[in-house]
Amino acid sequence: MFNFMKKKTTKTETPQQQAERDSAVDKVLLGYEIGAVSIATMVTGLERDGEALTLDLRLPKDSNPEVIQQELGQLLHPHGITTIHMNVRLPAPEKGSGSSLPKQMPKTTNAMDSQPSSGANNNASSTNVEPPITKAAPTQASLAAHPRIRHIIVVASGKGGVGKSTTTVNIALALQKLGNRVGVLDADIYGPSMPTMLGVADVKPQLENEQFVPVDAHGMAMLSIGSLLDGDNTPVAWRGPKATGALMQLYNQTNWPQLDYLVIDMPPGTGDIQLTLAQRIPVTGAVIVTTPQHVALLDAQKGVEMFNKTNIPVLGVVENMALHTCSNCNHTEAIFGTGGGEFIAEQYQVPLLGQLPLASGIRAQVDKGVPSVLADDEFAQYYLDIAKNIETNINKFAKPVDDKRIF
């Protein structure tokens, strides 16, 4: 079983022992309840480093972090966890109930020391406290570039159903056709489609020195959570922390080759995965995919605003499904409206990278695992023009590479 808990394991621990310990930790957290609610629903971050476990928790009002830490220590010690670190956030008191400052969290303790002591001082509290962590979240400016990847481009949309994944795979192939070394990371954890669109749905990535070896997809290095699942109908029913942990593991624990571009297919929306990526992956820029439809434009604007707030440059907008030409009478109609991509590009002063038609041929090619650029059909030139427009301005957003960084 592939476990997405973020972990740093000791050299003496075998993969089977890792999996058994992680499974035991999961079961304890799922079974430990606070007010009839599993503490697993309150975990916002989780990391295991050998015999130490770090939990980021958002606890309900009137919780006692010290008691929780002691009880978890007792439950987890039989499974080899000897130290528990807890970063706790409690809701602010209601108006009029006292200070609005967050409660102090308990000092990190050893799980063995967390067990109740005997003697006269058993009821005395000997645990020192320290204020909550106030360190600001990482920013793009503080992230070092990947030593083997020149540019990381995310392809995003405010809502689903606008053809983002189809656009992603064709842009990646177009960049490769222009002579670049390209990789694709499918970050759409809940709806991975890259393996099918690239015709490698049945290919599993190999493991080498505890790192994934990307799947070779028409000369591109590709990795997707879909490549690790048992079947196309296997659902990914995970809460936010586990999904974001999966994204970071796919990015960090993959032996990416030397790449000019890593193109990341993002899930729709502006949720946990997008924010985690903005804080932990050095992104050169974002491409926003939208349709001319008014509702799609509203969501695309939210996507642009999110990238602006996280200091990720928007490389431009791609307007998908702009026009449809009837295959029988050749009548052209703007089914989803007109001018949407141009409106956003003008509003945010970013380039309109291209406008794509609403055509069954584009859909048919990705369903077969041979996208338009690879098939070199009548629609391939649209994507090549978009790729050329990306290359025109991307260098001014490039992040400096730290050649001394070692993974």
Integer Cα distance of 39 and 92 in angstroms: 19
Strand partners, 221: 183, 216
Q: Do residues 312 and 240 both lie within one domain?
A: yes
How many domains, the chain?
A: 2
403 part of a folded domain: no
Q: Hey, what are 23's tokens? A: 């499974």
Q: Do residues 195 and 333 both lie within one domain?
A: yes
Q: Do residues 151 and 102 both lie within one domain?
A: no
Residue 233: CB partners within 8 Å, gap ≥ 6? none
Q: Do residues 118 and 146 both lie within one domain?
A: no
Q: Do residues 234 and 314 both lie within one domain?
A: yes
Integer Cα distance of 297 and 339 in angstroms: 10
Q: Do residues 319 and 199 both lie within one domain?
A: yes
51 part of a folded domain: yes
Count other C-beta atoms under 10 Å from residue 82's C-beta: 16
Q: Do residues 76 and 185 both lie within one domain?
A: no
Integer Cα distance of 145 and 400 in angstroms: 6
60 part of a folded domain: yes
* Helix (DSSP H) and strand (DSSP E) numbers for the chain: 11, 21
Q: CA 138: distance to chain centroid? A: 15
Integer Cα distance of 231 and 238 in angstroms: 17
211 part of a folded domain: yes
pTM as predicted = 0.64
Which residue in 100, 96, 8 sits closest to 54, CA to CA?
Answer: 8
Q: Hey, what are 287's tokens? A: 């491409």
List the CATH number of the domain containing 335.
3.40.50.300
111 part of a folded domain: yes
Integer Cα distance of 327 and 24 in angstroms: 58
Q: Hey, what are 173's tokens? A: 């192939």
Q: Which of 77, 95, 130 is the last residue of a domain?
A: 130
207 part of a folded domain: yes
CA atoms within 13 A on the CB side of 79: 22
The whole-number mean pLDDT for each consecutive block of 10 residues of the chain, a chain of 407 residues, reads 43 69 82 82 81 85 83 87 83 42 38 41 39 60 87 87 91 97 90 89 88 94 85 64 82 93 88 83 92 77 87 91 73 66 84 89 92 94 95 80 48
306 part of a folded domain: yes
Q: Do residues 102 and 148 both lie within one domain?
A: no
Q: Which pLDDT value is given to residue 230?
A: 66
Integer Cα distance of 201 and 205 in angstroms: 11
Q: Are 35 and 60 in contact (CB under 8 A)?
A: yes
Q: Do residues 48 and 185 both lie within one domain?
A: no
Q: Do residues 161 and 26 both lie within one domain?
A: no
Which residue in 340, 361, 300 sits closest to 170, CA to CA?
Answer: 361
**Residue 104 sits in which domain range?**
6-130
Q: Could you tell me whether strands 206-208 and 211-213 are parallel, antiparallel, or unpaired per DSSP bridges?
A: antiparallel
Q: CA 165: distance to chain centroid? A: 15
Q: Which pLDDT value is given to residue 112?
A: 39
Q: CA 382: distance to chain centroid? A: 28
Q: Do residues 228 and 354 both lie within one domain?
A: yes
DSSP 146: P
Q: Which pLDDT value is given to residue 288?
A: 92
Q: Do residues 173 and 245 both lie within one domain?
A: yes
Going through 258-351 in order, the beta strands assigned E by DSSP cover 259-265, 285-290, 314-319, 324-325, 332-333
Count other C-beta atoms under 10 Å from residue 198's C-beta: 26
86 part of a folded domain: yes
Q: Which of 104, 130, 156 is the last residue of a domain?
A: 130
